Amino acid sequence: MIEVDTLIDHIRTYNPKTNEELVRKAYDYGLRMHDGQTRHSGEPYFTHPIEVAVILAGQKLDDSTIITALLHDTIEDTDATYAEVADIFGEEIAQLIDGVTKLTNLELSSVQSKQAENFRKLLLAMSQDLRVLLVKLGDRLHNMRTIKHMRDDKQISKSRETMDIFAPLAGRMGMQWMRDELEDLSFKVLNPEGRNSIIRRFITLRDQSEDLIPSIIKDVRALLNTHEIEASITGREKKPYSIWRKMEEKQQSFSRLSDIYAFRIITQHEDDVYRALGAVHQRWTAVPGRFKDYISSPKSNGYRSIHTTVAGRDGKLVEIQIRTREMHEVAEVGVAAHWAYKDGRRAENRFSVDPLSWLNSLADRIGDEDDHDEFLEHVKLEMFADQVFCFTPKGDVVQLPRGATPIDFAFAIHTRIGSATVGAKVDGHRVPLWTRLRNGQSVDIQTAVGQRPQATWIDIVKTGRAKSAIRRALREDHQAGYIKLGRELARVALEHVGKKATDKALNTAAKKLGLKDHNEVLSQLGSAELTGVDLVGALYPSLLHDKSGEVNQPEAKIVGLEADQVVQAAPCCQPLPGERIVGIATRGKGVFVHSIHCDTLIEYEDQAERWIDLNWTKGRSKTVNKVTIEVTMAHYSGVLGRICTLISEQDGNIVDMHFSDRKQDFYRIAIDIEVRDVEHLSNIVTAVEADSDVAQVLQSRRHQMTLKT
């Protein structure tokens, strides 16, 4: 464990005026609060907050951020309270810790609707104080560095969340080094063989080219000395994930990739940047289309640099970045440069970006869409976008993702202008609306009163903002007509299988299809986004499929056990074939198989050595599994008969039933049925739930069954 004096010495290297007493007090308080707690690795838990503090100290951040890192888990995981922390360390630090706690509690990798809502909460938390996100990123980075001590399923879910959310966020903030490391650590978990193959290729390449990086650095240094340009030069191999992504994007093998090396020239003055660029281009051949000037057109997070790719020694293509020392400081920490310290004072860097304006820009670009899918699409498009910079006729700069069109440009200015677009001029020439814009072009949008977005625009535009606005306008224009047509299509589709298109049935279908309500089902039917077959399949899938086709399907079995391990289903949850499952090793009783959602698993949270990663093989179960469903239904004549018929139509066998609650208007009945697997059970529950006289269907599985291994 890093000692407090070591941490303070580290902070002093950039902030000699650090409040040593307060940092020491936070260290001691955190150590005391986390006393007795351990990590999955067995280390004392407090080693984690210290490592997070060290990561942030490496970014030269202020005392409040470092202290927040030391205490970021105290309110959530110990007896510490907000009031106590505020009393000891002040309201600012208490608010930061509370913000980190709220971020931690957002399950960002959950289902899409919840994920979209949590993205909004994430943006809200960031808008209060961006340092909350800086601490959270440091927290995630250290957790990813030590992820090998977690269960395999946790490693995968955390790595996906990191790859999808936290790495892009770090990149958008300008902390490219952190994005690179987060992506590579996630890549190591999600595709270890792919990463290892890249590393093996690198080793082979090193053996073949020996000291290529030092040689190129020597060549560049000699070139700059000739032109009397003072600069530092560094070189590196790109991260394995960066190489893998390029291979995927360009559909090229490793041997055909060119720019797997990156070099950086750091000058003292801005004039020297362009002099160095000229010297490099005179000495080596520049690759067309690979030049970017982020100095004249900076990124929104303050990033400034010249990027160029040249054919260097032995014809190998290398990427070279050229910037000043001041630009480099911002490039290393991005928006976080606002809080960076130097010689005991807040660093004065003219290139650092005001975090509030950056957040407002990000929030404005993402918008406030009601549709969850559109919101997530918008967020991810904005986070991963490589940018181009275009100009309005008045000379204002508009930032867009690469591949954007004049329609994207129009919507970036204002939704009203985008909606009314009828044409565009680029650099004074009339161009089609599907034209892909390039850096530095001037765009003049032509509008007309009464013009509305066209459906064909969806496939033309690139930005999430434009896509969302177009879809919203199209929905408004066609919603009523789609619903009317959809109701007729639903009636015909369900009558074809002897069912009625009631609002209750359509709402059940909406739940099954992940849609909002019955109106959205009807709208998608009317707009051909959904078919009548989809509707029937959601409610009564067995009526669409030929059961004879199941005979030759393989049998579902459990895999992941040793040959001599005895296995039995846990009576607390009784998992069905097709469910996500996990095994818990029990001395003398073999392995109990649980559903991954079983509440009992909480008891084994700290006993990772007993967990066994299990899976069902694909196929149909050839054993019957007895389950119970509890149905709350209206007390009308014929309702129970219809329910029994629905279960029979879905090929379910009723074994027993008994009434558990009798009211004047509703009955609750427990029905024991035999099912093959979780899909079979889901089909039965959906069919019963769609009946207009059924209020609720709950699943209760408490019967023993024999599992095959």
Residue the block writes with tokens 């990027």:
307
- Please state whether beta strands 285-286 and 261-267 pair in parallel, antiparallel, or not at all (unpaired): unpaired
DSSP code at position 166: I
Q: CA nearest 362: which of 123, 121, 106?
A: 123
E strand or H helix that includes residue 225? helix 212-226
501 φ, ψ (degrees, to nearest 5): -90, 65
CA 215 to chain centre: 40
Task: Report CA-CA distances (Å) from 321 to 214, 233, 287, 304, 331.
Answer: 17, 10, 14, 10, 11
Residue of 3, 20, 43, 76 marked active site: 76
Q: What is the sign, positive or negative, of the torsion defined by CA atoms of 460, 401, 356, 125?
A: positive
* Alpha-carbon span 163 to 194, nearest angstrom: 15
Give the span between the Cα atoms of 304 and 176, in whole angstroms.
13
Q: Cβ distance 504 to 519 under 8 Å?
A: no
Exactly one of 28, 62, 73, 77 is catalytic; name it. 77
Joined tokens for residue 322: 């050229």
Residue 76 annotated to the active site: yes
Which has the closest alpha carbon to 605: 38, 18, 196?
38
- Element (DSSP H or E) covering residue 419: helix 415-419
Active site (annotated) includes residue 77: yes
3-state secondary structure 495-560: HCCCCCCCHHHHHHHHHHHCCCCHHHHHHHHHCCCCCHHHHHHHHCHHHCCCHHHHCCCCECCEEC
Backbone angles phi, psi at 108, to 5 degrees: -70, -20
Residue 223 has a CB neighbour count (10 Å cut-off) of 18
Q: Which residues sit opposite 670 in a β-bridge?
A: 630, 658
Instruction: Please tell me whether residue 245 adopts helix, strand or coil conformation.
Output: helix
Measured in Å, how far apart are the chain's first and last C-alpha atoms? 45
Q: Which of 504, 512, 502 is nearest to 534 (CA)?
A: 512
Q: Who contacts 371 (Cβ-Cβ below 8 Å, separation ≥6)?
A: 468, 471
**How far is Cα 185 from Cα 156, in angstroms, rounded to an integer?**
11
Of the CA atoms within 13 Å of residue 564, those in its CB half-sphere come to: 1
Please, which contacts does 272-276 make with residues 24 or more away whose CB atoms are closer than 8 Å?
A: 272/229, 272/230, 272/231, 272/324, 273/306, 273/322, 273/323, 273/324, 274/306, 275/227, 275/229, 276/224, 276/227, 276/229, 276/231, 276/322
* 370 bridge partner residues: none
Per the CB < 8 A criterion, the answer to whether 276 and 228 are in contact is no
Q: Whole-angstrom Cα distance, residue 287 to residue 307?
A: 11
Q: Which residues are catalytic?
A: 76-77
